[in-house]
């Protein structure tokens, strides 16, 4: 097993050349070092609007199914399927056959490394796997000049996020992170309302979720079970350290709470529920993070419940923002949002609250597409689609013409722009991952995005980079 240690990280940072210039949301984070392996720049194939993409699918079932099938139904070519579970590949082949395509034309793999080594005709790769495989598969694909659609969270560790960004920008490929609510017109309208400053000066944000709905807060099970013949367990582990297979513990859905494989409820859901305040308030760098409540803390999985307090840095003309994250069905107190309770009867089970000196906004679902506002002195909330003050705010963000998957497809063909490309996805995921480290390391952590280090915690710094098993380097 190969451990990329802290000393190597700092030595690489000292030797690295200047990082790729940031843009979009990432300008708020400043420049970051690029302590990554050297790679040869590969320019992606130029595509025209009427071209069909040649797509390689990494992660056929589960969330992957809803990622690649819209592209396939759009008429683009599925030329390779990769899944560690052969049953999911067979299901995918049957779906392809329904359109009259001979499934023997589709190459099938359980190891994405072999797929990328052999399939040199790919234009695009979708990555919809456990979190620890996102960066390894996507970075390899981008190094070959492939555009990538990668499910949220974009990556599992902070180091991977900036390596992802460096490769994407150097090679000029199109990327999209799968926080699909970003494509909703209601979401983009609510971002416009916040961008316009309707709430005045905002210093306080609360974001909460009813997740996890998978196991968290427990240790590693003992023993091992026979590996099913249909499962390539070594490829499922990928970059992660070797551990025994246990029936019904990791594959297919319960892996998310384990540190080696997932990012827990915070990493899973914040890409959705924090998306509105992150974009609407133009948040950038996190300065501090502290887990102020935690239940069932252990060394193997994320907690069953937690509250994490995060401080986002001041931006041009805007002050620091204190953002509190709640998971495990914890919520902010109803006392801080009487207008919400007066309107909706209770605090929504999931959503976010944004508090300014001129008013507040509450989102009532994971995706930020449904929201209400109340200005100072108003006793109840009103939908952003109906509030008179909101109606006066002009439309400034282009609306998605279809859905997030086809927005990506069209961007690959030069006719659209991805709303969740690296200029957004890397910035939001960095802050989220700082928060997940706070769930593992106690105390108030001070994060410096410029050096990509925690100023006051050696323990936290060991979690910035992943362990990478020998043979799975990327």
pLDDT tens digit at each of 474 positions of the chain? 333 333 333 333 333 333 333 333 443 455 555 578 889 999 899 999 999 999 999 999 999 999 999 999 999 999 999 999 999 999 999 999 999 999 999 999 999 999 999 999 999 999 999 999 999 999 999 999 999 999 999 999 999 999 999 999 999 999 999 999 999 999 999 999 999 999 999 999 999 999 999 999 999 999 999 999 999 999 999 999 999 999 999 998 999 999 999 999 999 999 999 999 999 999 999 999 999 999 999 999 999 999 999 999 999 999 999 999 999 999 999 999 999 999 999 999 999 999 999 999 999 999 999 999 999 999 999 999 999 999 999 999 999 999 999 999 999 999 999 999 999 999 999 999 999 999 999 999 999 999 999 999 999 999 999 999 999 999
In a domain? residue 203? no
Domain presence at residue 231: no
Domain assignment present for 241: no
Instruction: Please count the CA atoms within 13 angstroms of the CA of 462 that sit on its side-chain side.
Output: 5
Tokens, residue 209: 């979720």
DSSP state, residue 208: E
Q: What total of structural domains would you count in the chain?
A: 1
∠ CA 349-332-326, rounded to 5°: 75
Q: Please provide residue 319's backbone torsions phi and psi, each rounded to the nearest 5 degrees.
A: -80, 175
**244 found inside a domain:** no
Residue 32 lies in a domain: yes
Residue 163 lies in a domain: yes
CA dist., res. 415 & res. 226, Å (int): 49
CB atoms within 10 A of CB 305: 18
98, part of any domain? yes
CATH number for the domain including 12?
Answer: 3.40.50.720
Using CA atoms, how far apart are residues 108 and 115, in angstroms rounded to an integer?
Answer: 8
The residue segments making up the domain with residue 75 are 2-179+404-421
Q: What is the pTM of this model?
A: 0.92
The tokens describing 440, both together, are 């593992």
């Amino acid at each position: 097993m190969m451990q990329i240690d802290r000393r190597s990280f700092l030595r690489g940072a000292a030797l690295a050349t200047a990082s790729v210039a940031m843009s979009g949301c990432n300008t708020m984070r400043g420049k970051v070092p690029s302590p990554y392996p050297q790679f040869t720049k590969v320019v992606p194939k130029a595509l025209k609007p009427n071209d069909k993409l040649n797509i390689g699918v990494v992660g056929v079932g589960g969330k992957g199914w809803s990622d690649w099938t819209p592209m396939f139904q759009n008429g683009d070519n599925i030329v390779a399927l990769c899944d560690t579970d052969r049953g999911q590949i067979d299901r995918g082949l049957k779906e392809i056959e329904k359109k009259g395509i001979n499934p023997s034309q589709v190459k099938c793999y359980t190891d994405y490394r072999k797929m990328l080594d052999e399939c040199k005709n790919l234009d695009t790769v979708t990555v919809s796997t456990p979190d620890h495989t996102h960066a390894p598969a996507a970075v390899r694909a981008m190094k070959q000049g492939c555009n990538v659609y990668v499910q949220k969270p974009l990556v599992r560790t902070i180091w991977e996020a900036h390596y992802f960004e460096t490769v994407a920008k150097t090679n000029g490929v199109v990327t999209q992170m799968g926080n699909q609510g970003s494509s909703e017109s209601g979401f983009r309208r609510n971002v416009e309302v916040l961008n316009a400053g309707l709430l005045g000066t905002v210093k306080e944000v609360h974001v909460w979720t009813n997740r996890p709905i998978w196991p968290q807060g427990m240790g590693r099970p003992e023993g091992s079970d026979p590996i099913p013949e249909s499962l390539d367990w070594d490829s499922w582990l990928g970059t992660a350290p070797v551990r025994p297979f246990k029936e019904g513990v990791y594959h297919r859905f319960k892996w998310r709470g384990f540190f080696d494989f997932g990012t827990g409820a915070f990493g899973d859901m914040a890409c959705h529920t924090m998306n509105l305040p992150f974009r609407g308030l133009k948040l950038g760098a996190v300065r501090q993070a502290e887990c102020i409540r935690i239940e069932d803390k252990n060394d193997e999985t994320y907690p069953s419940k937690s509250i994490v307090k995060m401080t986002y840095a001041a931006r041009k003309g805007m002050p620091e923002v204190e953002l509190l994250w709640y998971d495990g069905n914890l919520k902010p107190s109803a006392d801080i949002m009487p207008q919400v309770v007066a309107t909706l009867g209770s605090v929504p089970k999931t959503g976010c609250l944004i508090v300014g000196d001129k008013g507040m906004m509450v989102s009532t679902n994971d995706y930020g597409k449904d929201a209400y506002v109340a200005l100072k002195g108003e006793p109840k909330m009103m939908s952003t689609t109906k509030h008179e003050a909101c109606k006066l705010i002009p439309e400034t963000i282009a609306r998605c013409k279809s859905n997030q998957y086809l927005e990506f497809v069209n961007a690959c063909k030069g006719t659209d722009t991805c709303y969740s490309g690296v200029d957004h996805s890397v910035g939001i995921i960095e802050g989220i991952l700082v928060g997940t480290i706070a769930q593992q390391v106690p105390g108030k952590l001070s994060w410096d995005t410029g050096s990509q280090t925690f100023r006051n915690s050696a323990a936290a710094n060991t979690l910035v980079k992943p362990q990478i098993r020998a043979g799975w380097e990327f």
